[in-house]
Amino acid sequence: MPQDKARALATETDGAEGRYLSEALSDELVVEAVAGPLAEAAPNGKLEDVQVLMPFIHSPVGPEQMEAMPGLRFIATRSTGYDHVDLEAASERGIAVANVPAYGENTVAEHTFALILALSRKVHHAWLRTQRGEYTMEGLRGFDLYGKTLGVIGAGAIGLHVVRIAKGFGMKVLAYDVNRNQLLADVLDFSYADLDELLAESDIVSLHAPAIPATHHLINRETISKMKRGALLINTARGSLVDTAAVAEALDEGTLGGAGLDVFEGEEFMQHEDELLHQPDAEEKLKLLVRAHRLQRRPDVVITPHIGFNSEEALRRILDTTVENVRSFLAGEPRNLVG
C-alpha cells in the first residue's frame, strides 16, 4: 500500500459499490471494500491503520470498534440515519461524523406506496396463488386508496414526498411533526394534526420519523389502541420506532388490519442468527428475532429487507455524496457533519 495515502474501509458493499468508491477516491485514499458489516471486516483485528470509515446501517460503530481503529479520523456513513454510530464516543476521540442528508426522498416514498398497495390490493396473496396455478378471486378483494385518510408521522423530506404521492391517489392526508410549515401544508393540501387525532382518523399510518430517544417505540400498545380499528401500519423509517410485540398483539386482536415493514427491530441479526448466542445481550436479541419471525409468518404482514432506499439512482447519489464528504473532510472543509 502506498505510504502517502491513508487507508479507508467501506463496509456492506457489493462489488460495484466498492469499485466505485475505490476509483473515485483513488487520488486521496486506498479504499478497502468488504461485503459484510464492520464486525466481519477484520477477523484478525487488523484495523489499526484505518483513518476513514464508510459504514452502512448494519455496522455499529461504538467505543469498542473505535478503540480497534486508533487512527480513525472520519466516519462517513452511507446513510441518512446515523443511530448506528455512537456520536458521543466519536466526539470524545475527536472523530468527525458525516451522513448523507438527502439521497432518496422519492425513492423511499415510492417504496412506501409499494407496501401500501401490496396490502390494500392483496398483491402478495395474489402472486402466491398464481404461482400455484390458481386464478380464483376468492379472498382477494381489496380496497381503494381514493378517499381514504393517510397519516404521515414525520413530515420531513421523505414524508412530504409521501404526501405528494398520496394526493395523486386522491387521499386525504394528516401529518404529525414537531416542526410545522403551514405554507407547505397549504401548497400540498394536507393538514397538520396532533398524534392522537392522526391515529384516530387515519386508515393508513406511515412512519417517516428519525430514530432518536424521543421516537423509540413511538408505536406501542398505548398508541396502537388509539388507532382506527383495522388501519394499516407502514414503516420505512427505522425499526426502533415500533414495538414489534405490540404490533403482533394488535394484529391478533384485529386492532390493526395489516402492516408493511421495510424495517423492524432485530433486522440486523437476521443473516447472522447463529452468532447471536455468543454475543452480549444474546437473550434480548433472540427475543427480537422471534418476534420478527412471528410477523413474517402472518398473511396480513408484508416485510421487505430494508430496500426502500435501494434504487439505482438513489445508490448513485449515496455514493457520490459519500465521496464528496470524504474529499471535503480531507481538504479541511468538512460538510454534512452530524452531532
Sheet of strand 256-261: strand arrangement? 191-192, 172-176, 149-153, 204-207, 231-235, 256-261, 301-303
Output the nine-digit C-alpha cell for 200.
Answer: 384516530
Measured CA to CA, the distance from residue 123 to residue 115 in angstroms comes to 10
Catalytic residues: 238, 267, 306
Residue 210's contacts (CB-CB under 8 Å, 6 or more residues apart) are 81, 83, 154, 237, 238
Contact predicate 267/305, CB 8 Å: yes
Measured CA to CA, the distance from residue 128 to residue 147 in angstroms comes to 29
Q: How much is the CA Rg of the chain, to the nearest whole Å?
A: 21
Q: Virtual CA dihedral for 298, 304, 308, 314, nearest 10 degrees? A: -170
> Backbone phi, then psi, for 175, in 5-degree steps?
-130, 140
Contact predicate 119/260, CB 8 Å: yes
Measured CA to CA, the distance from residue 163 to residue 203 in angstroms comes to 14
Residue 329's contacts (CB-CB under 8 Å, 6 or more residues apart) are 52, 73, 74, 76, 96, 98, 335
Measured CA to CA, the distance from residue 304 to residue 111 in angstroms comes to 10
Measured CA to CA, the distance from residue 192 to residue 174 in angstroms comes to 6
